[in-house]
Structure 1
Amino acid sequence: MMLLLIILGGAGGAALRLGIEKWFLHVWRGGLPPWAPFAVNFTGCFALGAVLGGASSHATPALLYVLLGGAVTTFSIVSHQLLELHQGGHHGMAGLRAFTSLVIGSAAAVCGAVTATN
């Protein structure tokens, strides 16, 4: 059952990331750094924080955590984009992107957990 949820979550996450990327490309005409995975990561961190926060205060099923974890984790994409920025000579943007991904993602997870427990 868990494997099936991970597969479904992964497929859903891939579709979500593609949809958000297409939206970003449509709105900004491709002139923006790769912020679509950043937006997905922020949302995913909040959702996972909310699930974990809810799990500590309610009876949130572990399977829901597995489903969301498979759906919203895009760390490998962010890592690849950081490498591309670095190789392209955009060292400052790569550093900023790495820092904001970590800080904002962590803050989003805390906000999600606090929201779920209140």
Structure 2
Amino acid sequence: MRAGKGRKHGRYYLGDSVIDTASTPTLSQIRARTVSGGPSIRERPTATQALQAQLDEERARREQLEATLAQQVQAQVQAQLQAQPMPGSAGSKAGAGAAPVQDVDLSAVRNLFPNVPPPFDP
């Protein structure tokens, strides 16, 4: 594209055709046609603002995926808990001919782990 050539009204050359500047409105003519209450020229977001918006979108998408995953895991755990009856309940196999559950004496294990905290090494 070349413009001007030193002439009073200049010419714009685009490819092989010529656009006459007499038919092209000037900037002052364009400004005169617009109303001050009309839409103004919007500023483009800066690179920082665009990057911040992109990060916010990614963060929101990640949080949504994490929430969905948590719901799916919770649903699977609930399904497994409902499928497996508790020991000793009416639906468990423990009461059907199995040996009853007995308490175990763990008093001998207490001596293995004294109540003294470990030494502090500075």
Normalised by the size of structure 1, how large is the TM-score? Answer: 0.24
Query: Whose strand fraction is larger, Structure 1's or Structure 2's?
Result: 2
Query: Whose helix fraction is larger, Structure 1's or Structure 2's?
Result: 1
**Which structure is higher in RCO with an 8 Å CA cutoff and minimum separation 6?**
1
